[in-house]
Chain A
């Protein structure tokens, strides 16, 4: 396992391009784009203020930098460094910005969720979508990029609007049977929309693309409800991570393709949560399916040191990884059933069904890994600390990856 040299970083903003060729990172108001293989700087863009959010367009041609404080979005082209685009939301303010799946439109959410502005990079057209709901996850695109589902709130009722992304036409508009909708998420096949209610109500609803309700699931009443939701890559399972009032057992519930519910209640040893605070540290705070559908990794917030890996085929616990300190983040290798975990320490942990590895990140001083993200092909891993980041190259099956010459001098090897 090899490590690159350490680069500067701010706000944990470091992202691989969707095509896996580039790596964008932010240092204050500068955006740096590097080649993934050589790590040489390809482009350097300077924004007007501190960058708070970056996002690659789906075709890896553009990068969006959001400067929320200034209500600004700056877009840069990788092919034409002189090309620039600046979108100013003015007095309406800006709280969120993202690309549409075609990479030619930018959706900006204004302050107070007044509206969503759709800016086109192709034409001068600007569209507005009113009444977006301010919630945990109010906007979701299908994986193929054809449709966008948006949670809305009108007359104290929740609605979902489905838009066609190609021309931003409203395709369907239907009300959902929720008290206070908290989030929506498309199934990876793009045909089923999962809608979940606020944490006060345990409710998951499934809607078809054409707005028909398919099924509803509620595990129990009178207790804190859903905290996190994740679809399996096969669209076969929906994992629902829930708060639990009693805080010891949790229910990773799976709604199968035919809407059969299989639940595995498991009692676990827990920490005593602080009950008199809002947003208590209980329940399943993080959920992730492995790319091969075989495993589900979860973290229970009242047992922050452990990552639970479930065997989805058998719907039972496969392994529990207990770390020395609270797990900050974990992510599956996009290619293999391999999970990378970081705990805010100077080590990165890898788990695969074959076993565990913990690797010390080399370097002078402590490199506290706060977050990590995998490269598309699963061969490298970006490790992010508060002010720095480095790449970790994993040995492939054929043999160890030879570090490129450019950083051979600085590249360090770790057993």
Chain B
């Protein structure tokens, strides 16, 4: 029993109880069997009990039970006897208590059994599940193992194949090599054979030639009715050993002559092409300068530092240009200069166009009012300046008048001086009169001009606006097709003529003004128009190029203006023009007021010199 206990210890108590029972009980085998199948217990138990206890063995049964119960720790079924000899009495209470306890125990056991059974079931199902899982996994393992084997097999096969292919490739390569070698050897063989055949063929040809020719073939002949003259009319000349050499030399000469002619022709063509290209380059440069120079004046006031150098470049380039066109040099340095200057101009132009683009976009944003206001301001400034000029002119005239009167008075007083000056006086008087009328006319002109100018300035504002836009768009377009120079040229002229078109019908001085206005109106701070004209002329050769007659006219007009306002013109500026040189010399002392004798002298001088002028 102790062994059992240790083994069955984790199992329920009940079982151990029953097993201990079986030892004693007569029907132990049966009960064990029955107890093992625990579920149909109750009925069997009854039948068992009925079999256990009969009428005859009640006493024994009781004692047995008592024994059993006491061994299990229950109180004895018998009453506590007073003496040993007295027969022990069955204690009903104890029996009942025992029974009750047994029943309680039984119930507990049943419960425990139930629990165990459910647990068992659970475990059983778990077991089943695990088993199925296990089976599944086992299956999977099996399949993957199989797969692996399959793949391994395939791998092996592929490797095998690969090896075969490698082998094949190697074989093929060998084959190719072999074939190439064969081809090469064949080719050499072929070439060799060809050469041999050709030599044979040549030999045969030679032989045939000899045969055919040596046979004195009667058939090889020419029948001609009569020989005809040569196309050039010359007679055929017989060749001798002597003439042969000279012939050869002559032919050689002729050949070289032909070659030389061809080379010369080509050189001429290349030169022409070069000249053409040079012309195009120079034209491009000129046009670039002309395009850039009017704009130069605008940035000049805005930022002196940056444009100062550029402007000087432009001036320099203009100088260069004239020099180049004069010499038409084709040496390296000039070419370099030209290309460099073109490059420079191009850069400037590019930046300028970009700027213009920006401006155009800005203008589009700002609208038109701004520009108008500026132009009006300009115009007011201009009119002020003009008025000042007129004032100065009037003063000048007045002082001159006074001087003249003084002179006249002195001549009347002093006979000697009058005698001295008599020869001059008449002429002088006439001259002065003429000048006076001229001045008057000038004044009138000025008045007229001022009127015109006020009109023109207003128009100018609008026109300039339009012009700016047009130029911006045109410049852009020009960049798109830089090649069409002529077209551009004509456009340029048109632009300028359109610009000065309003004043076309006016007189000469007025004529020159609006044209000058263009650079002038842009530079508000510059001095009077007359001075700016002479200044702007070398800076903008294009204007003088495009309309030379007009520039000429403006020069004349500037001269006539100079007469009136000598103090306005700066001598060194005027001095740029050689024609004005003398005038500046003459007019400089004239500006000094009160210098009587010197003034009169210079006037006469100027007169004489002016007569020399064309």
Contacts and interface: CB of A to CB of B under 8 A. Distances in A.
B528 interface: no
Nearest to A126: B222
A58 B231 CA distance: 10
Contacts of B195: 156
B199 A85 contact: no
A174 to B, nearest CB: 13
B208 to A, nearest CB: 6
A218 to B, nearest CB: 20
Nearest to B201: A112
A395 interface: no
A83 interface: yes
Give the contact-size bracket for chain A: 35 or more
B18 to A, nearest CB: 103
A74 to B, nearest CB: 10
B222 A191 contact: no
Contact of A88 (B219, B256, B266): B219
Contacts of B205: 112-114
B208 A171 contact: no
B222 A85 contact: yes
Given A91-B217, A130-B209, A156-B195, A191 B225 contact: no
B219 A90 contact: yes
Interface string B228-257: 111110001001000000011001101110
Interface stretch (A35-43, A115-123, A310-318): A115-123
A156 B251 contact: no
B208 A88 contact: no
B208 A86 contact: no
Select the residue from B222, B247, B254, B256 with max chain A CB neighbours within 10 A. Answer: B222
Contact of B266 (A120, A208, A257): A257
A92 interface: yes
Contacts of A115: 209
A86 B202 CA distance: 30
A85 B258 contact: no
B236 A122 contact: yes
B36 to A, nearest CB: 96
Contacts of A91: 212, 215, 217, 219-220
Contacts of B236: 120, 122-123, 125
A114 B208 contact: yes
Contacts of A210: 255-256, 259
B262 interface: yes
A89 B198 contact: no
A59 B229 CA distance: 13
A189 B208 contact: no
Contacts, number: 109
Interface string B191-233: 0001100110010010011001101011111111111111110
Interface in B176-195: 194-195
A169 B248 contact: yes
Given A156-B199, A189-B262, A210-B256, A85 B251 contact: no
B208 A104 contact: no
Nearest to B251: A164
B259 A208 contact: yes
Contacts of A209: 255, 258-259
Interface string A120-158: 111111100010000000000000001100000111100
Contacts of A84: 223-225
B274 to A, nearest CB: 13
A322 interface: no
A268 interface: no
B220 A90 contact: yes
Contacts of B229: 122
A87 interface: yes
A124 B259 CA distance: 33
A357 B389 CA distance: 77
A82 interface: yes
Contacts of B254: 146, 164
Which of B223, B226, B258: most chain A CB closer than 10 A? B258
B208 A112 contact: yes
Contact of B232 (A102, A113, A257): A102
Contacts of B208: 112, 114
A88 B221 contact: yes
Nearest to A119: B222
B198 to A, nearest CB: 5
Given A85-B222, A121-B227, 16 more contacts: A83-B226, A86-B223, A87-B221, A87-B222, A90-B218, A92-B212, A114-B205, A122-B228, A122-B236, A154-B202, A156-B198, A156-B199, A169-B247, A189-B262, A209-B255, A210-B259
5 contacts: A87-B223, A92-B213, A104-B231, A123-B227, A210-B259
Interface of A: 58-59, 71, 77, 82-92, 102-104, 112-115, 119-126, 130, 146-147, 153-156, 164, 167, 169, 171, 189-191, 208-210, 257
Q: What 9 A-B pairs are tightest by C-beta distance, nearest first?
A: A90-B219, A90-B220, A90-B217, A191-B262, A85-B224, A86-B223, A87-B222, A164-B251, A123-B236
